[in-house]
Amino acid sequence: MPETLFDDAESSLLLDKDGNLMCARIAPDGQWRFPETDSLDKRFVSCLLNYEDRRFYSHLGIDVYSVFRALKRNMQSETVKEGASTLTMQLARMARGNRPRTLWNKIVEALWAVDIELTHSKEEILKLYVSHAPFGGNTVGAQTASWRYFNRDLSRLSWAEAATLAVLPNSPALIHPGRNRSALKRKRDVLLGVLRKRDVLTAEEYELALLEELPEKPYPLPNDASHYFDFLRKNSRTSVMKSSIDLRLQRLVQRMVNDYSARYRHSNHLENMALVVLDVETGQPVAYVGNTTDTRAVASQVDVVQSERSPGSTLKPFLYAAMMSCGEITPRQLISDTPLTINGFTPSNFNKGFSGAVHADEAVIQSLNVPLVRMLSLHTTGRFMEDLKWLGMSTLHYSEDHYGASLVLGGAEVKLWDLCQMYRKLARKLYYDEPDNPSDRISKPAIWYMFKAMSKLNRPEEEAQWTQFKSMKNIAWKTGTSWGSRDAWSVGVTSKYVVGVWCGNATGEGRAGVTGVGFASPVMFDVFALLDDSDKFYQPSKGLELMSVCRSSGCLASLDCAVVDTLYLPEKSREADICNYCKVVHLSEDGRWQVNLSCAENLGIKTEKRFVLPAAQEYFYKKCHADYRALPPFHPNCESMSNESLDFIYPEHNAEIVIPRGFDGKFEEVVFSAVSKRADATLFWHMDNTYIGSTKDDHKISLTPEKGSHVLSVVDEIGNRRAVMIHLK
């Protein structure tokens, strides 16, 4: 007899956090064969032994009494009326591959049975039998049969159901739907009668058991979290996989995904949706929905949780936190929001407008593209890639030159799984107060400010639907919409959970009007409504210092700042810029004019600390901020030349510009734009010191320049001058 009785291929099983069966995959040999059981159900064992081997615990593999009784009956009838195989002998026959019932094979099985009894405990023998007995069709093992025929665990069967299974290994063909139903019921009822006679069942239990119907046909095995199961199977060789999935929540969110997906498919032709709920402490999924289970949806078999998709704006908070961690910005430092071109790439905000200048946290809250690209330009794409890799982003397959400035706007690809794990990493670090390590690229104070910004509820007009969400539950959240509306994202973070939702078409087809806040966020907030409330993220006890901050610019305060706040900022903020927006200016007593000491004799003079933006920023800023106080012009008697009164709106210095071509293939004009703080100024335009024209009021000029590098300059009538180098391709 071999050391191992069975070496059969096994079905793969996925269990939830409580050990309940969630999903199963058939064994490679086409059999539904669950792995060997590690426990025995008393009810089923009682039925089995009373039917197959009453003296199981008293014999050594061969029941001598049964052998003599069978010989006597068979000799009297001259045919085989009764067998004498013990349960152990049946186990030996199964282990030998169910060979023909010849006398020789019977002798071998008897010898094997004795050997099995000598080398195994009675409990081990029962477990082997229960795991490998045939139960009809391609169903092997009692636990497998319980799920196939009754759709529940063996331990939850009634007496009638357990008795039905107990008689099957003796005649497994009886379970075939539509055939032999009366024979199967007769065998079951006989066994129930034996159990009643031996006082295993009460009279009431016996009568009720007789009334139960037989199973009609095999049930499909559970298929919950099937995409997660397939994901685990790629990296695991074990047959039974215990997961952290909450089966109740899994089924609720799967139903939710199916409902929303059906609605979106009907109204917007969005076929697919994916959802993940992570436990912040462990990083394990509480729910994992790879796609809708509606087979009418295109590509519903694709696990979008593990698919690489454009992240839209969902990476922006990471850049904000990384820059605070290295002291490149303060949490509310002003960032320019004016037209920009970098290496031929011209980003635009969602609303196609500009605000002139915006605080860094507001840029994240409003998901503005241009300020974030300016921030990335300061931080560099290469460093941001290292930040993302440290967070756990596994899909940065190319060089920083490939991604460029578009990286922060969705120019790379990310998995929903990675994105949720990245936010979870920071949430755990902050909430569980994990110590900062030298290798950490984002500090706890920066994480706190990041989540603080993400928790603010004001959104730009295009994202005003946030007001419909009922329960915020201390949620920090970020939405994202990829170019062409191919991907809609929403990720929410609390101290307990991370919920990530993606919706779109797995085929990559975009749909106009689809946004993260309009399509993914409603699903995300509905999921949070099912989860426990969470504590808020508390300000970290270490890593923050009191610093003086200019209220207007958000930069570290200078002596010229009119209003200064004292705030706790990340330690590295001491290395950030000192405010250069605030200046001491001299005005006439009536405030109508700027003056200087050389011409103020007859005008009077007063000195003020004023917040002053560069000309290009001021041009847009004052359109959005009615309370902005622009400096008055210099008095005619004391006009002062200041290049700060002029600026280019487009292009910026060293901009790389691609000259557009028309349908006829010819180069088209490029429009350049400038601004002057003097409302009545006339600007004279030059390229490479060659005069090309003048503008008044609206300072825009159209040119068809030659390729190459050029110096573009403007001069006003009083001599103020501004010049930029441009590179035309």
Nearest-angstrom CA–CA distance, 465 and 308:
27
pLDDT profile of the chain (729 residues), mean per 10: 88 96 96 93 97 92 73 55 76 90 86 94 96 93 96 96 93 71 92 97 97 91 97 91 98 98 95 98 98 94 98 98 97 96 88 95 96 97 98 97 95 98 98 91 98 75 46 83 96 97 96 94 94 91 96 97 97 95 90 79 83 94 93 78 78 86 79 88 91 90 88 89 90
Q: Which residues contact 728 (CB under 8 A, 6 or more apart)?
A: 657, 658, 659, 670, 705, 706, 707, 708, 709, 710
Nearest-angstrom CA–CA distance, 318 and 325:
10
Q: Which residues contact 106 (CB under 8 A, 6 or more apart)?
A: none
- Residue 220 burial (CB < 10 Å; 0-12/13-18/19+)? exposed
Report phi then psi at 595, rounded to 5: -135, 170
What is the side-by-side strand order in the sheet with 21-25? 21-25, 12-15, 240-242
pLDDT at 258: 98
CA-wise closest residue to 496 among 435, 423, 393:
423
Helix residue ranges per DSSP H, 198-306:
203-211, 226-233, 247-268
Nearest-angstrom CA–CA distance, 231 and 406:
30
Nearest-angstrom CA–CA distance, 391 and 318:
9
Instruction: Give the H or E element holding residue 113.
Output: helix 103-119
**Are 571 and 543 within 8 A, CB to CB?**
yes
Nearest-angstrom CA–CA distance, 230 and 12:
10
Q: Which residues contact 446 (CB under 8 A, 6 or more apart)?
A: 321, 322, 324, 325, 570
Structure tokens at 270: 């969005």
Report phi then psi at 378, rounded to 5: -75, -45
Q: How many CB atoms lie within 10 A of CB 218?
A: 19
Instruction: Give the H or E element holding residue 691.
Output: strand 690-696
Residues facing residue 493 across a β-bridge: 476, 498
Nearest-angstrom CA–CA distance, 512 and 597:
60
CA angle centred on 244, ends 242 and 249, rounded to 5°: 125
**Are 651 and 701 within 8 A, CB to CB?**
no
Q: Which residues contact 177 (CB under 8 A, 6 or more apart)?
A: 216, 217, 218
pLDDT at 76: 57
Q: Cα–Cα distances in Å, from 232 out to 236, 241, 282, 293, 499? A: 6, 8, 17, 19, 20
Beta strands in 494-563 (DSSP E): 497-504, 544-550
Q: How many CB atoms lie within 10 A of CB 629?
A: 12
Nearest-angstrom CA–CA distance, 85 and 66:
8
Nearest-angstrom CA–CA distance, 11 and 35:
7
Q: Is 216 helix (H, G, I), strand (E, B) or coil?
A: coil
Which domains does the chain carry? Answer: 12-211 (1.10.3810.10), 287-528 (3.40.710.10), 544-575 (no CATH), 582-638 (no CATH), 643-728 (2.60.40.10)
pLDDT at 470: 38
Q: Which residues contact 141 (CB under 8 A, 6 or more apart)?
A: 33, 34, 37, 130, 131, 132, 133, 135
- Residue 40 burial (CB < 10 Å; 0-12/13-18/19+)? middle
Contacts for 665-669: CB closer than 8 Å, 24+ residues apart:
667/704, 668/704, 669/702, 669/703, 669/704
Torsion of CA 648, 652, 658, 662, to 10 degrees: -20
Amino acid identity, position 372: L
Nearest-angstrom CA–CA distance, 245 and 460:
36
Instruction: Give the H or E element holding residue 445.
Output: helix 444-455
pLDDT at 592: 87
**Are 174 and 168 within 8 A, CB to CB?**
yes
User: At what angle are helices 159-167 and 203-211 packed, to 10 degrees?
Assistant: 70
Amino acid identity, position 726: I
Amino acid identity, position 235: N
